[in-house]
Amino acid sequence: MQKIRINQPIRQRLFLIALLLAALQFVATPARAAEPTKSIAAQLQPFVDSHTLAGAVTLVASRDKVLILEAVGFADLAAQKPMKTDALFWIASQSKPITGTALMMLVDEGKVHVDDPVEKYLPEFRGQMLGVPQEKDQVLLKKPARLVTFEPGSKYDYSNAGINTAGRIIEVVSGMPYEEFLEKRLFKPLGMKDTTFWPTEKQVQRLAKSYKPNADKTGLEETTIGQLTYPLTDRKRGPSPAGGYFSTATDMALFCRMVLNGGMHDGKRYLSEAAVKQMTSTQTGELPQTYGFGWSTDRRPGGPYGHGGAYSTNMRVDPERGLIMIFMVQHAGWPNDGGNKVFPTFMKAAEAFGK
């Protein structure tokens, strides 16, 4: 086959024409729009900038994996220490669902029945009387219509004492201290290595500092956790099943994913599906409050459930979306109307992962 020779000047002109055509094509092709960001941290950053939020760790997970784990803001405002995803938080009443779960493990084993009177396990409750207010400075004692259980009656009362009583029943029935039962039966098997009543010195170094609104409610000032005694490492402070745990977003995600998956995690069963359904279903009858066994619930079958803590931590399990949403902060109140803005902003961003 005869080769066609192209002299050098023509070759150069053809090369320039090719470059020009390529450049024109590049200009004519519109640039692709950037993918919308799903960063939750980016959506919370304005609250950090306005001194409404000190810092947060956020996590969203599906039934089988973590979808996003981010940190925003600061763990220590004065030192300008950035928040990190392994930061430790006092989760306060988020401890209640953990206690409820531990109790239901014993229910699964037939060692506890939720309709039993408390005095069956704690004889100290025998002979309890009901106080009925009378005239000023007078109270009438009478025998209650029924014995105390975990069955709701005619009135709802958010109670630390009730959950702490459940913790004591766990000790009596299992034959081991409450904290030991949780460590052996739940935390260690799940890999919840940072969930404890007594953080170590190294863990305290990862603890996010606590904040409250300043006097004029336009910013934040550092505070301590009034419900706890210091130092936080001191084991003289007793365990509190209703509100004493410290934890991380990752640990709480492990716990919530187990519950979302009907009591299963990594091929190991911790709870029966029936136990999960019972404890996360509304047990408060027709009362306006909705509460299960240690969980805040929804009246809709299969609706979301979860719990918050006194210093604004929160977790939500949404079976319909197949999501868990963890919000870790240390705020004793919010400036700049942050209580009505920050968590809703997180939830809106987190729920988008289920679409």
Confidence of residue 26 (pLDDT cuts 50, 70, 90): very low
Q: CA-CA distance, 140 to 113, in Å (whole number)? A: 31
Q: CA-to-CA distance for 83 and 279, rounded, in angstroms?
A: 34
Residue pair 199/88 in contact (Cβ under 8 Å)? The answer is yes
255-264: average pLDDT: 98
Q: Would you say 228 and 90 are in contact if contact means Cβ atoms under 8 Å apart?
A: yes
Say yes or no to pLDDT of 355 above 90. Answer: no
Q: What single letter denotes the amino acid at residue 272?
A: S
Q: How far apart are CA 231 and CA 252, in angstroms?
A: 24
How much is the pLDDT for 234?
94
Tokens in use for 46? 């304005």
At 282-332, the pLDDT tens digits run 888 888 889 999 999 998 888 999 999 999 999 999 999 999 999 999 999
What's the pLDDT at 144?
75
Domain ranges of the chain: 40-115+177-354
Banded model confidence at residue 15, pLDDT cuts 50, 70, 90: very low
Average pLDDT over residues 170-182: 97
Q: Judge whether residue 9 has pLDDT over 70.
A: no
CA 50 – CA 335 distance, rounded (Å): 10
Nearest 5°: phi and psi at 250? -65, -45
Q: Determine the CATH number of domain 40-115+177-354.
A: 3.40.710.10
> What would the pLDDT profile of 206-221 be if each residue is shown by its tens digit?
999 999 999 999 999 9
Reduced to 3 states (helix: H, G, I; strand: E, B; else coil), residue 90 is strand
Which amino acid is residue 86, in one-letter code?
D
pLDDT of residue 180: 98
